[in-house]
A and B are shown apart, each in its own frame.
Chain A
Amino acid sequence: MAAVLDTARPATGKGTSRRPEIIGIALLLAALMVAPFFVYPFFLMDALCFALMACAFNLLVGYAGLLSFGHAMFMGTGSYICAWLAVTYGQPVWLGIIAGVAAATLLGALTGVLAIRRQGIYFSMVTLALSQLIYFVAVEASFTHGEDGLQPVAQGKIFGGLLDLSQPLQLYFCVLVIFAAGFLLIYRIINSPFGEVLKAIRENEPRAISLGYKADHYKFMAFTLSAALTGLAGATKAVVVQHASLSDVYWTTSGSIILMTLVGGMGTILGPVLGAFIIEGMQNYLATAGQWVSVIQGLVFVVCVLAFRKGIIGEVAARLGIRL
């Protein structure tokens, strides 16, 4: 009882414990506003898509305690549907993104109904199995063009020429707006009464049920929301990299999302963003290192698990005595 009330209190209190987070978020968004003038914009866009995905994943694992091992299916669905509409039917990309999110939400609801019936490792396995199912659909289905993938997604002008997405900076700020919207939505969800109930379920599910909360409904909602936001990130990524391919739905993508969240700090709002930038940065800037990239990634993971289990943000916050 006490634990549930403890976690619920800050939201209704004066909000002092949220201040470091708000400062962090403000700094992050400010940094992202000026970043494209100093860092290669396409790297930033790619990292932002993965950051949004990791945040959506974190909503599930960090706040509802559900470790999904199948988030690649939502990302892949988002990116395939978006690319399919753009490539095969020549639709504008904004329509593709909306359709991609809708498809990922639907898939999230369907798989959520099945997956949340199980807990712990069984939940993870069910999501992994369903994700592999979607992977094989992507391999076999004719509209995905199998291993060749779908390309090129034409960026071009949208909204009647108002925005020209083939200009890197205009595209960057579009992606930033999408990221910020998704990120702030997640922040809002986490700090809403709904989010408090999720945390209560994470801490002690039978107790939350005994308090009268329908835990399965909450978990289902969290799962579907997470799927929708992951689909949004996937669809946006299809526009940025101009194609959809099998690697988006493959289980290793689910693995990298988990890695990003763990490295940055599970259950912290900023952790997944930092984790995504670190892991994507390694993939991008170490591309010349060849086979060492996977070794370095593995080492980072091992060091994280051994030395700072709360992730970078979690560990820094703990050192500074900030409660997240």
Chain B
Amino acid sequence: MSVNKKHLFAGLMLVTTALIAPAHAAASKSLTLAVITDMSGLYKDAGGPGSVVAVKMAIKDSGIEKQGWSVKVIGLDHQNKPDVGANVARQAIDQDHADAIIDVPNSAVALAIEPIVQEKNKVFLIDGAAADILTGAKCSPNQVHFATDTWALAHGTGGAITKSGGKTWFFITADYAFGKSLEKNTGAVVIANGGKVLGHVRAPLSTPDFSSFLLQAQASKAQVIGLANAGGDTINSIKQGAEFGIQKGGQTMAPLLLFITDVNSLGLKTAQGLEFTSSFYWDLNDKTRAFSKRYQALEPLKHMPTWDQAAVYSSTLQYLKAVEKLGDATDGRKVVAEMKSFPTDDAVFGKGEIRADGRAIFPTYLFKVKSPAESKGPWDYYKLIAKIPADQAFRPLKDGHCPLVK
């Protein structure tokens, strides 16, 4: 009996160890991709379930599964809280053995996740967070940045509009670091292009009432009203600006961060005439149209892809190509180095490259929102005003002060 008991005990111990030990038997040819995004808050439409769709499309298009790889995708919600995001990322890496963390709209959450990915030597594909320090002071050998960043947004919008005649500017700025840095960067570009900044007003974060700020902007008689804010603040200022007839009065409103899903929910009547920078629009060329139609068919709400979701597709595709070339995804730093070693080429951004600081380089565009009369159908929202070539779209390598660049 006692021997039996011993055996039983040993057996139990074995089972327990097997349960606790990481199930990494097929590590060499299996991949887990964790899409950490906003599934419930203000960036749900920009990233959210659509980002998971984009990842799945990239897996299919890479053909990596035909090479014998099995790829698992998990979609996780960071609830726009940095601590939740950090915990979710750590858990995805420790327990689900995630090899890459993808998307993460909301820069604060991305910044909280970054040290964890670096410590665990995994890969971080940043597609939804726009802070330019992610490829500057906070750059890391474990990450690449495919989202349009604050530098590109400020320079695209500020430069292109000023060159096309919008010489005088007034800013409505969200009163926190992101808004202030957008205002400062954009203002500098406006002045460098021969324009003039007439003034600015600081609106508290998440204020419901923009009327006094909009009236000041209107009274300034500036040609362009720059909206250095994001999310709900941008939507509110555009809506209330339409009520005050700002665009009808001949002033142009220029939001610095806008998604096509925002335009969709605002409606063309309210959003018409807005000018802004984006790295992606579904109706740019045959390839983007084909990609977007496929995406739309798969997306639960039948939305067109945003620049965030397009970046998710592009970065995941490049990641999978690199993994396939290496034949091994365990060393995150190696995979990122491999991703940087060959040019990117995909349906959404065309041909491009990833720089030493992790910045993916592609052209960006200045768009103007069509009027309801100009629009030919659903999602026909933008007209192209200017193309900013890839070599001018992003911050020069030397100006970022990324420690990886010597």
Contact = CB atoms under 8 A, between A and B. Distances in A.
Given A139-B205, A148-B108, A242-B86, A291 B178 contact: no
A43 B95 CA distance: 11
Interface residues of A, number: 34
A293 B83 contact: no
B90 interface: yes
A42 interface: yes
B95 A145 contact: no
Contacts of A147: 107-108, 176-178
Contacts of A136: 204
A245 B82 contact: yes
Interface in B164-199: 175-178
A266 to B, nearest CB: 25
Contacts of A13: none
Interface in A278-314: 283-284, 287-291, 293-294
Contacts of B40: 290-291, 293-294
A242 B118 CA distance: 13
B112 A149 contact: yes
Contacts of A46: 83, 87
Interface stretch (B70-78, B233-241, B325-333, B368-376): B70-78
B44 A245 contact: no
Contacts of A237: 83
B88 interface: yes
Contacts of B80: 247
Given A149-B112, A246-B108, A291-B40, A43 B91 contact: yes
A136 B114 CA distance: 25
Given A43-B91, A237-B83, A148 B116 contact: no
Contacts of A247: 80-84
Contacts of B39: 290-291
B49 to A, nearest CB: 7
Given A146-B177, A245-B108, 19 more contacts: A40-B91, A40-B95, A42-B90, A42-B91, A139-B175, A148-B107, A149-B111, A151-B112, A151-B114, A241-B82, A243-B82, A247-B81, A247-B83, A288-B75, A289-B77, A290-B49, A290-B77, A293-B77, A294-B40
Interface size class of B (residues with CB under 8 A): 35 or more
Interface of B: 20, 39-40, 44, 48-49, 74-84, 86-88, 90-91, 94-95, 107-108, 111-112, 114-116, 119, 131, 133, 175-178, 204-205
Given A40-B91, A288-B77, A293-B40, A245 B84 contact: no
Contact of B88 (A146, A242, A287): A287
A241 B112 contact: yes
7 contacts: A147-B178, A151-B112, A242-B112, A245-B81, A246-B108, A287-B76, A290-B40
Contacts of B83: 46, 237, 241, 243, 245, 247-248
The SS class assigned to the A binding surface is helix
Given A139-B205, A148-B111, A243 B86 contact: yes
Contacts of A140: 175-176
Interface of A: 37-38, 40, 42-43, 46, 136, 139-140, 145-149, 151-152, 166, 237, 241-243, 245-248, 283-284, 287-291, 293-294
Task: Pick the 8 closest A-B CB pairs, nearest first.
Answer: A290-B39, A146-B177, A152-B115, A291-B40, A245-B82, A247-B81, A243-B112, A290-B77
A146 B95 CA distance: 32
Nearest to A248: B83
B48, B86, B114: which has the most chain A beta carbons within 10 Å?
B86
Contact of A151 (B44, B88, B111): B111
B131 A148 contact: yes
Contacts of A43: 87, 91
A288 B76 contact: yes
Nearest to B109: A245
Given A247-B83, A293-B77, A149 B108 contact: yes
Given A139-B205, A149-B108, A149-B112, A42 B87 contact: yes
Contacts of B84: 247, 283, 287
A203 B95 CA distance: 48
A206 to B, nearest CB: 41
Nearest to B36: A287
A148 B95 contact: no
A35 B231 CA distance: 41
Contact of B133 (A148, A248, A284): A148
